[in-house]
Amino acid sequence: MNEVIAHSLFTDFDVDLFKSGKHYRLYEKFGSHITTVNGIKGTYFAVWAPTANQVSVIGDFNSWHDGEHKLNVRWDSSGIWEGFIPLVGKGDSYKYKIHSNNQGYISEKADPYARRYEHNPKTASIIWEDDYKWNDKKWLKTRKEYNALDAPYSVYEVHLGSWKRHATEDRFLSYVELADDLVNYVKEMNFTHVELMPIMEFPYDPSWGYQITGYFAPTSRFGYPDEFKLLVDKLHENGIGIILDWVPSHFPEDIHGLGYFDGSALYEHPDKQKGYHQDWKSLIFNYERNEVRSFLISNAIFWLDQFHADGLRVDAVASMLFLDYSREEGEWQPNIYGGNENLAVISLLKELNEEVYKSFPDVQTIAEESTAFPMVSKPTFMGGLGFGMKWMMGWMHDTLEYFSRDSIYRRYHQNEITFSLAYVFTENFMLPLSHDEVVYGKKSILGRMPGDEWQRFANLRLLYGYMFTHPGTKLLFMGGEFGQYDEWNFKKSLDWHLLEYEPHKKLNTFYKELNKFYRNTPSLFQKAFENDGFEWISYEDNVNSVISYIRKGNNPEDDVIVVCNFTPIVHDNYLVGVHRAGKLKEVLNSDAEKFGGSGVVNSRQISIKKAPWNGKKYSAQLKLPPLGITVLKLK
């Protein structure tokens, strides 16, 4: 077989940037790249393994023999091994056979930068390049209008393996099939964005994709990388943005993965107190190592650059930020200032967001961060971490706790449904009803609702209406939009047959209309993160478990009044304060019969009287539906 030919894609400047943690396009250098050298077509390989004394490329092209294709180590102490192998190309499987200086340790590792991997349980990398021709130029040119912080932002969170399975064969839908089925459904439901749980290559299905071994490749479970690009393209063609879950917080110990890569703690922190996650039995990246920082930022940029993602939802940020996260006393060491913050992570996240928004100013980064760490979604020049948005975990917890209570007891817990408004404008919050809330015995969202069947569906419509009129962007996990009865099971499809039953079908209609109403009501999104976009009318009527408020946009003519009745008691003449003269017209009512409600609606225009109430100069008498929300437009 042909010998390895000395060849390099790295300039000295590339190496300097890599070693200083400032190279943000490493995927253009590391990995396997099909190229031509001396008139011969083949593949260039490059891998980082500074503790190795020999690195060979083994694969189906050399019968997996060690030593036949030895890479050359660079002279510059970068730890980069590289070389060109003639006549090796697209579709060939390979790994790196690494002989370590550390006690003779030998490992066979998948390529950390590979663009494709074998289908699990196989673990080899595959040389890959595609010539996919993108058709989303129009979307990319205009997506700032869809991704802006003053635009409607309603996200459908999806696990591709269990959203829907093939009708007659027990298998996943492919990226190509999803480009029809999923895209058409999301468009019909009027969502603005899809968020995919991790689609990077991972070995273990029960991890849902959060234990990644192939950071630069879409999982082979659903098809080829160019077929995933087709799915992205189809979403964009239909005016739908795509957000990818991204996991820089930890990685698994699988023998072919990043762990103990060259016989040393290369990607993980060598100190177990910083390098091992006790809850997830996984390894934590060494955020203090420059080369690892370059790897992580390059990976984030890769998905925005090569796959045209419109945003990244960064997983488990809290676990990264705090040295004592899920650790007892004596299991962690404070930083140089005596605090529990991981200073390396703070600087990394700032650097990440600065580079993302510099290169892609029209995307969003979204932090899943569950603590009170300050200024997560504030710009770095203000001292913030620089994220575009942050999940509002407090709202999610309090709201679900409140709604799970029987309505007769809600009067004693009014603060659970109003407290979020005391801090809602401290961050750019996204309101999540995510996959984490429908597993591990928590029940489905519908399953948490109290009462008989009618009340459960009414409660759920009320919950969704409250979420969409509350300041912030919106996220719902798949199945919630039609009232999945059972907890989410990653092993099987959602229960789509439920749409044959009227309560589920009408709930689905309500969510579709709610998305449409949200997108067409500027006061619900133009000032989603601004204090003057919200005004209380009353949060004090805990006796009746009723709250009312005003949502405001750029134009006062777009103001809407929202009233939520959290009990099944109908109020025929409920007095509500109004801030301006005119008339009120009901524009949304969750109790409408077409949504499965009882039909208690305000069908006529309502006169506003100059009679002070709730601290406002005017007032109006409304009919409040049972377990319902009514939204009224000032005319």
Rounded CA gap, 194 and 208, in Å?
Answer: 17
In sequence order, the 6+-apart residues with CB closer than 8 A to the CB of 170 are none
The average pLDDT across 555-568 equals 96
According to DSSP H, which parts of 429-587 are helical? 445-448, 453-469, 502-519
C-alpha dist (Å) from residue 428 to 127, 390, 425, 474: 41, 6, 7, 12
For the cut 60, the answer to whether the pLDDT of residue 435 exceeds it is yes
For the cut 60, the answer to whether the pLDDT of residue 288 exceeds it is yes
Q: Where are the domains of the chain?
A: 12-126, 156-391, 531-634
- Contact (Cβ atoms closer than 8 angstroms) between residue 62 and residue 32: no
Rounded CA gap, 515 and 189, in Å?
Answer: 7
Which among 493, 413, 490, 488 is positioned nearest to 450, based on CA atoms?
413
Rounded CA gap, 104 and 92, in Å?
Answer: 28
Length of the chain: 635
Rounded CA gap, 450 and 448, in Å?
Answer: 6
The average pLDDT across 578-591 equals 96
pLDDT at position 170 is 83
The residue with greater pLDDT, 167 or 201, is: 201
Q: Using one digit for the tens of pLDDT, what is the confidence trace for 300-330?
A: 999 999 999 999 999 999 999 999 999 999 9
pLDDT at position 432 is 98
pLDDT at position 168 is 83
The average pLDDT across 209-227 equals 97
CATH of 12-126, one of 3.30.56.10, 1.20.1260.10, 2.130.10.10, 2.60.40.10: 2.60.40.10
- Contact (Cβ atoms closer than 8 angstroms) between residue 8 and residue 2: no
3-state secondary structure of 276: strand
Q: Using one digit for the tens of pLDDT, what is the confidence trace for 29-51?
A: 999 999 999 999 999 999 999 99
Rounded CA gap, 514 and 450, in Å?
Answer: 22
For the cut 60, the answer to whether the pLDDT of residue 374 exceeds it is yes
The average pLDDT across 610-635 equals 96
Q: How far is CA 507 from the centre of its chain?
A: 25
The average pLDDT across 603-618 equals 94
Cis peptide before 121 (omega within 30 of 0): yes
Rounded CA gap, 4 and 44, in Å?
Answer: 9
In sequence order, the 6+-apart residues with CB closer than 8 A to the CB of 266 are 48, 49, 50, 51, 258, 260
The average pLDDT across 473-492 equals 97
State the fold for domain 531-634. Answer: Immunoglobulin-like (2.60.40)
Q: Which residues are catalytic?
A: 315, 368
Q: Roughly how many angstroms between the first and final C-alpha of the chain, as a whole number?
A: 81
The average pLDDT across 523-547 equals 97
Which residues lie across from 43 on neighbouring strands?
Answer: 34, 85
For the cut 60, the answer to whether the pLDDT of residue 1 exceeds it is no
Query: Fold match between 12-126 and 531-634?
Result: yes
Which among 268, 250, 244 is positioned nearest to 211, based on CA atoms?
250
- Contact (Cβ atoms closer than 8 angstroms) between residue 182 and residue 174: no
Q: Using one digit for the tens of pLDDT, what is the confidence trace for 80-132?
A: 999 999 999 999 999 999 999 998 899 999 999 999 999 989 999 999 999 99
For the cut 80, the answer to whether the pLDDT of residue 10 exceeds it is yes
The average pLDDT across 602-617 equals 94
- Contact (Cβ atoms closer than 8 angstroms) between residue 31 and residue 46: yes
CATH number for the region 156-391 comes to: 3.20.20.80
pLDDT at position 505 is 98
* H or E stretch covering 598: none
Rounded CA gap, 489 and 234, in Å?
Answer: 27
Q: Using one digit for the tens of pLDDT, what is the confidence trace for 159-184?
A: 999 999 998 888 999 999 999 999 99
Which residues lie across from 85 on neighbouring strands?
Answer: 43
The average pLDDT across 238-247 equals 98
pLDDT band at 635 (very low <50, low <70, confident <90, very high): confident
> H helices then E strands: how many in the chain?
15, 29
pLDDT > 70 in the chain, percent = 100
pLDDT at position 104 is 87
For the cut 90, the answer to whether the pLDDT of residue 294 exceeds it is yes
Q: What is the mean pLDDT of the chain?
A: 96
